[in-house]
Amino acid sequence: MATNETNSTSLDDCKATNKALYTFYAAVMILIIVLALPLNASVLHLFIFKLKFWKSNTNNIFLFNLVLADILLLFCLPINTYNFLQGELSGNYKVCKAMLFMLFLNRGASIAFLTVISIDRYFKVVHPNRTNLIRSLKKSPQISILIWVLLLPLTVPTMLKDFDCCNSHKSDVTESLVKDAVDIIREVVFFTQILIPFTILVYCTVHIVIRLRKKTVGNKTKLKRAVFLVIAVIVLFSVCFLPCAIARMVLLIAGVQGWSEPYRETAAAAFDGLLVLSFIDCLLDPFVYCFCSTKFKALYLSSYFPFLG
């Protein structure tokens, strides 16, 4: 009987106090799924059947992995949507762990491939005559496989801990953070996954812009396209990932400093909302494809929107 009471209390603790807000979050995720799934499916079809990315000498291998990461991420959203519509978190810990594992893995892959694409463009523009590892390997699947393999051990900490709740709402993560190594590793991975790539992107952008300003002769079109690319990726990071990282930091501070329950609930709800916002990258990534390749843009329009031609 005591066990049943404990389980009931745990489930009650995981209920959202503002169910209307979480219903709104669920509606946003439904909209993202409805718009992003067919968009990314069409892009995936184009890479496989039209561009034959494995034979390409461009960034198409990276872009294919980026769209693959987006589609896998979209498959996780219905579970989140269902939980938010119910106003509570799943009591099924296996489902919770699997969902968090996929979210960490595929968001990390998305960020990693965006960063690699920007680094490759940086070397093309700023050091055009210098041989670099990315340029050497991008024609083969090795570097893409390496990225996925390296992400796996970084994602394992999400599978090593049971959760009272499957999202941040009334989670005890912040309370145990100072003494739980698994929690510490998970939070370090969460922040480094966002902050380090963002720093690299800013560095690449600054040097590409400087290179563009110094170039007085020759064709500037490719340089301008490179600038648009890295700026587009930075905007994507700034809109989707940085707000989520800031909200996560506030949530951790709220737990460690022992903020009162209403403030902690507000911080948790804000983090969950900005996490939902981060899923919009599945809609914004196709713009990166267009900035990467005018050929891709032309082929996409001619294949799916021929009337625009």
Neighbours of 114 (CB within 10 A): 27
The least confident of 35-49, 224-238, 240-254, 269-283 is 224-238
Mean per-residue pLDDT, 61-74? 89
- Tens digit of each residue's pLDDT (9 = 90 or more) over 9-58: 445 566 777 888 999 999 999 999 999 999 999 999 998 888 887 776 55
pLDDT of residue 281: 92
Whether 93 shows a pLDDT value over 90: the answer reads no
The residue range of the domain holding 224 is 2-308
Q: How many domains are there within the chain?
A: 1
pTM for this entry = 0.85
C-alpha torsion angle, residues 251, 114, 292, 284 (rounded to 10): -30
Tokens representing residue 245 in the block: 């990282």
- What is the predicted pLDDT for the residue at 245? 92
Instruction: List Cβ neighbours of 233 (8 Å cut-off, separation of 6 or more).
Output: 114, 115, 117, 118, 201, 288
Residue of 156, 124, 166, 151 whose CA lies nearest to 11: 166
Residue 255 one-letter amino acid: G
Question: CATH number, domain at 212?
Answer: 1.20.1070.10
Q: At what angle do helices 19-45 and 294-304 cross, to 10 degrees?
A: 100
3 state DSSP class of 141: coil
Whole-angstrom distance, CA of residue 131 vs CA of residue 121: 13
Query: How far is the first Cα of the chain from the last one, in angstroms, to the nearest whole number?
Result: 69
